[in-house]
Chains A and B, each alone.
Chain A
Amino acid sequence: MNFTKRTVIKAMAGLVLASAGLMTATAASAKEVTIWAWDPNFNIAIMQEAAKRYTAKHPGATFKIVDMAKNDLEQKLQTTLASGVTKSLPDIVLVEDYNAPKYLRSFPGAFEPMSGIVDYSGFAKYKVDLMTMNGKVYGLPFDAGVTGMYYRKDYLTKAGFSEKDMNNITWDRFIEIGKKVEVATGKKMLGIDPNDNGLIRVMMQSGGRWYFDKEGKLDIKNNPALKAALEIQAKLFKAGIVKPTTGWPEYVGVVNNGDVATITTGVWITGTVKAEKSQTGLWAVAPTPSLGIPGSVSASNLGGSSWYVLSGGKEKAMAIDFLNEIYAKDVDFYQTILQSRGAVGTLLASRSGKAYSEADPFFGGAQVWQSFSDWLSKVPSVNYGMYTYEGDAAISAQLPALIQGAPVDQLLESIHQQLSAQIK
C-alpha cells in the first residue's frame, strides 16, 4: 500500500516534470540550433565563436551549445540513436573521427548527408574519406589531429641536446636521448597511460598502416608498422624512461607540472601545454619521431573530430547552412580559432591565412603553426574503419605481456585472434 502510494506520487511528479520539459522544449524551438560537444576550452569555445559570427549576419538565429564530457556525449548519442526516439537529440553533434564510420554504418538514416551543399574539395582528403558512405558525404570536417613532439628545451639542453638534435629523430634515438635526460635531470622522458593506446596508433599510422587495410580487412599479423610500434612500446618501458599514468588528467598533469620532458600527441594538446603559463619559452615542437622502417614518415595523426547534422533535428536546414557558411568558407574564422585555441582546421584554404605564419612566444618564438601545417600534408592516409576501439582493446589485452618481454609475433597472433572474434 505504502509502496503503491509512493510510486503513484512519483509517477505523477514525473508526468508533471515531463510535460513541463515538453513545453519548454517547444517554446524554445523557434529557430534555435542545438549543438552537443565536449571540451569547454576547445570545441565549445570554438563553436561559440562560430555561432557569434553566424548570428552577426543572421540576427534571427540563436544557438544552444551544450557542453558534455566526451564519454557522456557518446553514451547519450548511442543510446538515443539505438532507441529510435530522436526527439531529444540536438541538431549538430561533434563526433570523433574514429567513431564516425561506426555511427554512419550502425545507424543508417540518422545523419544528414551534405554532399551537394558543401564543397568538400576544399577539405583535406583523409577527413572527407572517413565521412563518405555509399557515395554520400556526411558531416563537416573540423579539426586535424596532426601530431608533433612537444619537448622541454631546458631539460634537453641540460642533457646536452640542441634543438637540431631533436629534429626528425627515430624512436630508437628518442630512447637513447631519454636515458641521458634521466641521468642529467632525473625526469622521465614521457608519460604513458597503459589504458590508452594513442601512442601506438600514432606510431602505426606514421608507418602508413592501421588495424585494417584499405579494403577494410584485418591487417595485424603481417603489419610491419604495428609490429615496430609494439617493439618500441616495449623498449620504452624497458629503458625505464616512462612515467606510468592513469587517466587523462594525470597524463596531462605530468606534462604541466614538469615531470616529463616530452609529449608526442595531436596538435589539439597545444592549448593544454600552454595552460601552464610559467613554462613560457621552455617548450619547443619537433616532428613526430619515426619508426625507422621503410615507408615510415615523421608525421602522424591522433584524434580529430567533425560536426554532423542529425536527420531528426528540427532546424537541420539552418544547421547545415551555418556549418557551410562558417566552417566551409570563413577563412578568417580559422585564423581566430588557431590563435585563440590552437585549432588546426582541415579547410585547406585556411592554411594560407596569416595566423599560420605567426610566431608563438610560448614556444620561444617558433612558427609552430606553419610546422604543423607542413606535417599535416605528410600524414599517411589510412582507412580507420569502424573498429578502432575494438583494435585498441585487443592491443591493450596484450600490453602487460609485451612489457614483460613476450615475443611480438606471438602477441600479434593473439591480437589477430581476439580482433577477428570481436568484429563479427
Chain B
Amino acid sequence: MGQTPKPGYRRFYDINGWSFVASALLLIATFLVYPIGKSLWMSLHSGQGTLVKFVGFGNAIRLTSDPIFMRALTNTFIFLIIQVPIMIVLALIMASLLNMQNLKGRGFLRTAVFLPCVTSLVAYSVLFKSMFSYDGIINASLIKLGIISHAVPWLTDPVWAKVVVISALTWRWTGYNMIFFLAAMQNIDKSIYEAARIDGISATRRFLSITIPMLKPVILFTTVTSTIGTLQIFDEPFNITQGGPGDSTLTLSLYIYNLSFRYVPNFGYAATVSYVIVILVAILAFFQFHAARERD
C-alpha cells in the first residue's frame, strides 16, 4: 500500500506491460486486423479469380442492381423477422415453466431443452433434411395420423423450405437462449413475487409486469446475439436446402459462398457482400440498444 498509481504516460511507456501483451497483440494484428483491412481493400476490386482490377465503389453500385443479392437480403430478413421473435418468446415461456418450484423432473427437462445446442450444426441440418425429405419420417407420420393426405414437398416448395429452415433454427437455438433467461430469473428476488402474491396479482400479470421487465437486459442481449447469428446464417440453408428451391432460402452468407466457390470466383464482390452483413449487424444492434435504453 501507499504506492500511488503511475500516471498514464508512464504506464504507456512501460516496457514490461507491452512485452506481456505483445504476443496477444501480434496475434490479433495478424489474424484480425490484417484480414479486416485486406478484405476492405479487396472489396474495392472486382474481376475473375486473380485477374482483378480496382473498381472503387463499383461493387457497391453493382449490389443495387443485383437481383440475387436482393433476394438473399429479403430471405435473410424474413428469417430474422419471423424466427428471432418466435424463438425469444418460446425461450421465455420455457424458462419460466422450468423455473417453477413445484415442477417434477426439472433437471431432466432443462437438460433436454438445452441438448440441441451441443449438437453440431452440420449433423443436425443433415438430420432435418432427411426427416423432412419427400419420403421422410415427418411426411410418413403425418400421413399415418391422417393430418395430411398427400406428402408435403417440404424441401422443394419455396414456402415450405423456409418453414423447415425456420423450424430447424428454432429447434437448435431456443434452448441456448432459454438458459440465459433461466439464469436471470433465478436472480430475481423472490420477495418481489411474494409481495405481488399477497397483493393478489395473477400469475400471468406477475410474468408480464415483474419477470419481463426484470429480464430486460437479458432479453436485449439474446435478441442482439440472435440477430447477429441469423444475419450470418449459413450452415442450415447450405446443408438442408442448398439455398433452394430457386433462391427461396438463399441467405447473404450462402451468396458469399456461391460468389467465391460456385460461380466464377469474384472475391472482391464477395467481400463487399460480407461488409453488407457487418453494416447491417451494426445498424440493427444500434437500434436495439436505442430501443431498450433506460428512459429516466
Q: Which residues of the other chain, B, contact A222 by a CB distance below 8 angstroms?
A: none
Interface centre among B20, B27, B156, B265 (most CB of A within 10 A): B156
Contact between A396 and B246, CB atoms less than 8 A apart: yes
Contact between A105 and B158, CB atoms less than 8 A apart: no
| Residue in A11, A105, A247 whose CB lies within 8 Å of B48 | A105
Interface centre among B49, B51, B65, B260 (most CB of A within 10 A): B49
Classify the secondary structure of A's interface with B: helix
Q: Which residues of the other chain, B, contact A421 by a CB distance below 8 angstroms?
A: 62, 65-67
Tell me if B133 is interfacial: C-beta within 8 Å of chain A.
yes
Please tell me the number of chain A residues within 8 Å of chain B, measured between CB atoms: 46
Q: Which residues of the other chain, A, contact B206 by a CB distance below 8 angstroms?
A: none
Q: Which residues of the other chain, A, contact B261 by a CB distance below 8 angstroms?
A: 71, 74-75, 78-79
Interface residues in B234-272 (C-beta closer than 8 Å to A): 241-248, 258, 260-265, 267
Tell me if A50 is interfacial: C-beta within 8 Å of chain B.
no
Q: Which residues of the other chain, A, contact B120 by a CB distance below 8 angstroms?
A: none
Q: Closest chain B residue to A107 by CB distance? A: B49
Contact between B264 and A194, CB atoms less than 8 A apart: no
Interface residues in A395-412 (C-beta closer than 8 Å to B): 396-401
Given contacts A78-B265, A243-B134, contact A84 B156 (CB under 8 A): no
Q: Which residues of the other chain, B, contact A399 by a CB distance below 8 angstroms?
A: 245-246
Least distance between A72 CB and chain B CB atoms (Å): 10
Contact between B48 and A106, CB atoms less than 8 A apart: yes
Binary interface encoding of chain B residues 128-154 relative to chain A, with 1 for a CB under 8 A from any of its CBs, else 0? 010001110000000000000000010
| Residue in A108, A246, A397 whose CB lies within 8 Å of B156 | A246
Tell me if B110 is interfacial: C-beta within 8 Å of chain A.
no
Binds B, one of A267-275, A331-339, A385-393: A385-393
Contact between A246 and B66, CB atoms less than 8 A apart: no
Contact between A107 and B68, CB atoms less than 8 A apart: no
Contact between B155 and A106, CB atoms less than 8 A apart: no
Given contacts A246-B129, A397-B71, contact A390 B50 (CB under 8 A): no
Least distance between B19 CB and chain A CB atoms (Å): 11
Given contacts A102-B264, A107-B49, contact A194 B156 (CB under 8 A): yes
Tell me if A167 is interfacial: C-beta within 8 Å of chain B.
no
Per the bound structure, the CA–CA distance linking A393 and B67 in Å amounts to: 11
Binary interface encoding of chain A residues 69-101 relative to chain B, with 1 for a CB under 8 A from any of its CBs, else 0? 001001100110110100000000000000000
Least distance between A311 CB and chain B CB atoms (Å): 13
Contact between B27 and A11, CB atoms less than 8 A apart: yes
Interface centre among A11, A74, A84, A398 (most CB of B within 10 A): A11
Tell me if B24 is interfacial: C-beta within 8 Å of chain A.
yes
Per the bound structure, the CA–CA distance linking A250 and B133 in Å amounts to: 9
Q: Which residues of the other chain, A, contact B21 by a CB distance below 8 angstroms?
A: 4
Given contacts A194-B245, A397-B68, contact A106 B264 (CB under 8 A): yes
Tell me if A23 is interfacial: C-beta within 8 Å of chain B.
no
Q: Which residues of the other chain, A, contact B67 by a CB distance below 8 angstroms?
A: 397, 417-418, 421
Tell me if A40 is interfacial: C-beta within 8 Å of chain B.
no
Tell me if B23 is interfacial: C-beta within 8 Å of chain A.
yes
Least distance between A121 CB and chain B CB atoms (Å): 30
| Residue in B46, B62, B244 whose CB lies within 8 Å of A195 | B244
Contact between B23 and A422, CB atoms less than 8 A apart: no
Q: Which residues of the other chain, A, contact B20 by a CB distance below 8 angstroms?
A: 1, 4
Binary interface encoding of chain A residues 94-120 relative to chain B, with 1 for a CB under 8 A from any of its CBs, else 0? 000000001101111000000000000
| Residue in B50, B157, B246, B262 whose CB lies within 8 Å of A81 | B50
Q: Closest chain B residue to A74 by CB distance? A: B261
Q: Which residues of the other chain, B, contact A81 by a CB distance below 8 angstroms?
A: 49-50
Tell me if A424 is interfacial: C-beta within 8 Å of chain B.
yes
Could you list 15 A-B pairs, sorted by A, with CB under 8 Å?
A195-B245, A245-B133, A246-B133, A246-B134, A387-B263, A387-B264, A389-B262, A396-B244, A396-B245, A397-B67, A400-B158, A400-B246, A421-B65, A421-B66, A422-B66
**Supplied contacts A107-B49, A246-B241, 19 more A-B pairs, CB within 8 Å:** A3-B24, A71-B261, A78-B260, A82-B49, A102-B264, A103-B49, A105-B264, A194-B246, A244-B153, A246-B133, A246-B155, A387-B263, A390-B263, A393-B68, A393-B258, A396-B244, A417-B67, A422-B66, A424-B62
